Amino acid sequence: MTEWLTPDQQRAWRALLGMNTQLHAHLAKALQDSSDLSYADFAVLVQLTDAPDGRARISELADLLQWERSRLSHHLKRMEARGHIERSSCPEDGRGSYVAVTPVGRAAIEQAAPAHVEHVRALLFEGMSDGEMHALTDISERVMDRLSRVP
């Protein structure tokens, strides 16, 4: 028989789900309003601009984003058509390929990032004490660590 969540656990779980949904929706809308990037575009470009040489293997990018490879492939086609990224073959492995941020993509994220940072600060951190921020960080890192070990 299933042991249901306690009322406190259910409240915490639903608060987390609601916060994640609302935060994502607000940040996605703000990003779209202030730039030509979708939230998904921004996520891809963040990973690429953080990567050495501004590029990553497509399989690694899919893992970092936690996206299915087919979803990433379709999204990369759209980004490539807009000039934000370019694909190239992997010389070490003929089956693999790289994706790299282009100057157009780098300019797009550099233009979008300042407003995005301000929205993150306003929506998440304003009104939060340093102690609350550290608690949120500790809890999030602990859960992500546990999730990283789930097969």
**Strands of the chain, DSSP E:** 55-57, 85-90, 93-101
In a domain, 92, yes or no: yes
In a domain, 140, yes or no: no
Angle at 117 between CA 143 and CA 55, to 5 degrees: 75
Look-up of token digits 């994640």: 20
In a domain, 53, yes or no: yes
In a domain, 8, yes or no: no
Give me the mean pLDDT over the 51-55 stretch: 93
In a domain, 2, yes or no: no
In a domain, 111, yes or no: yes
Chain CA centroid to CA 6, Å: 31
Please tell me the predicted confidence (pLDDT) of residue 43: 98
Q: In the chain, how many domains are there?
A: 1
In a domain, 77, yes or no: yes
Describe the crossing of helices 39-50 and 103-120 by its angle, rounded to 10 degrees.
110
Residue 11 one-letter amino acid: R
Taking the C-alpha atoms of 98, 101, 105 and 109 in order, what is their torsion angle to the nearest 10 degrees? 120
Which one, of 43, 45, 71, 69, lies nearest residue 58 by Cα?
69
Q: For the domain that residue 58 is a member of, what is the CATH number?
A: 1.10.10.10
Residue span of the structural domain in which 87 resides: 25-120
In a domain, 72, yes or no: yes
pLDDT digits (tens, 9 = 90+) for 61-107: 999 999 999 999 999 999 999 999 999 988 777 678 999 999 999 99
pLDDT digits (tens, 9 = 90+) for 108-134: 999 999 999 999 999 999 999 999 999
89 phi and psi, to 5 degrees?
A: -70, 150
- Please say whether the beta carbons of 80 and 97 come within 8 A: no
